[in-house]
Amino acid sequence: MLKTGIRLLFLLMITITLSANAQTADTVKKDTVKIDSNLLNKYRIQSKRNAIPVPPTPIQIQQELIPVTMLDYKISYWRKFVAFGLNFNQAAFSNNYSSGGVSSIAIGSTFVYRVEYNKAPFSYVSELNLQYGKSKNKGQSSRKTNDRIFWDNKIATQMSKHWFFFGSLTFESQFDKGYQYDANNQAPPLLISNFMAPGYITESIGFEFKPTTYFDLRLGTGTARQTFVLDDSVRRVQSYGVDTANNKTVRNDIAFQVVGIFDKDIAKNMHLNARYEMFIPYGQPISYTRHRLDAILSAKVNRLINVSINGTLLFDKNTGIKDVQGTEGLSLGVLYKFP
């Protein structure tokens, strides 16, 4: 039995030794496979180095035009401007007011319509200016405070940056009858003016200098003016240069005319519009040159309320007055402009 146990132990040791050798053989096999894989990777790297180089394809960026449907816009070369003003003044005194005074009421209105067309090199401007006002003092008849119809039309073509060749047509008159009143209220009022008595139509061609948008100067080298006095009652009192002795109602003059216009905002919410006209008739003494200056200074209080000062200076011997004539008015009222 002892011998049999020793034999079995010996066989067991031989079996364990063979198993260990088998495991060592397997490990070496795995290492060999690992080395072969490294050689393969090295071969692949060398193959890549020896390969024919292929240049990279450059990125190209080019502009593509995408069609866009245009909006249906229309270009308008016309501009319109409308302004309407209404002024109201009133004063009341009791009969026993110690400082004295006369109750009065006055109303004035202004309407301005302006149309412009500008498409280089041509331009057209038409401006209609209407003014009318009346006042009524207690114990007196109503009297005019303002009355004017003025319509100016001008067409021009551009010659250079600031110079234009123009032609213009202007109409000027008044709406209502005008009277001369006796300061002492002894004589009845005397009719001295009416619609188209006088009335003026002026045609002019010449050159216009326009250095800015708010100022232009017209030099009417060829200007003709017709003066109308169509009311017989007025012609018997005032001729306005028309040969009423021979029953004529129209006077024609050829002259050189200068017109300067200034129209600009001179401060915040303050606007100045001024127009000066000089009319030099050919064939008459230089003293018969006609000068007229109209100016309106307006200041906005808010969107609708405004304060305005307007004035006119006139020197015209054909009116029968040899001195400078003038009128001035200060008003507070409503002024609406659109657009």
Domains of the chain: 78-338 (2.40.160)
Give the model's pLDDT for residue 47: 53
pLDDT digits (tens, 9 = 90+) for 41-89: 655 555 555 556 666 777 778 877 877 666 667 888 999 999 999 988 8
The answer, yes or no, to whether residue 31 has pLDDT greater than 50, is no
Closest C-alpha among 226, 300, 231, 305 to residue 268: 300
69: which residues sit within 8 A by CB, 6+ positions away?
none
Give the model's pLDDT for residue 304: 85
Mean pLDDT of 172-192: 90
243: which residues sit within 8 A by CB, 6+ positions away?
251
Give the model's pLDDT for residue 103: 84
Measured at the CA of 117, the angle between CA 218 and CA 174, to 5 degrees, comes to 60
Lowest mean pLDDT among 70-79, 141-150, 185-194, 198-207: 70-79
3-class DSSP state of 302: coil
278: which residues sit within 8 A by CB, 6+ positions away?
257, 258, 259, 289, 290, 291
**Highest averaged pLDDT of the listed ranges 69-78, 90-99, 180-189, 286-295:** 286-295
The answer, yes or no, to whether residue 27 has pLDDT greater than 50, is no
Higher-pLDDT residue of 40 and 100 is 100
Mean pLDDT over each residue of the chain, to the nearest integer: 85
Higher-pLDDT residue of 158 and 28 is 158
The single residue listed with the structure tokens 């002795």 is 245
The answer, yes or no, to whether residue 328 has pLDDT greater than 70, is yes
pLDDT digits (tens, 9 = 90+) for 268-317: 889 999 999 999 999 889 999 999 999 999 998 888 888 889 899 999 99
Give the model's pLDDT for residue 8: 64
- Percent of the chain with pLDDT strictly greater than 70: 82
The answer, yes or no, to whether residue 25 has pLDDT greater than 50, is no
Higher-pLDDT residue of 211 and 1 is 211
Higher-pLDDT residue of 206 and 306 is 206
- Cβ-contact 240, 317 below 8 angstroms: no
pTM: 0.75
Give the model's pLDDT for residue 230: 96
Distance (Å, whole) CA 94 – CA 164: 61
Which DSSP string do the residues of 7-24 spell out, in sequence order?
HHHHHHHHHHHHHHHHHH
- The pLDDT confidence band at residue 263, using thresholds 50, 70 and 90, is very high
Give the model's pLDDT for residue 234: 94
Furthest C-alpha separation in the chain: 183
Mean pLDDT of 88-105: 78
Mean pLDDT of 185-195: 90
Higher-pLDDT residue of 241 and 72 is 241
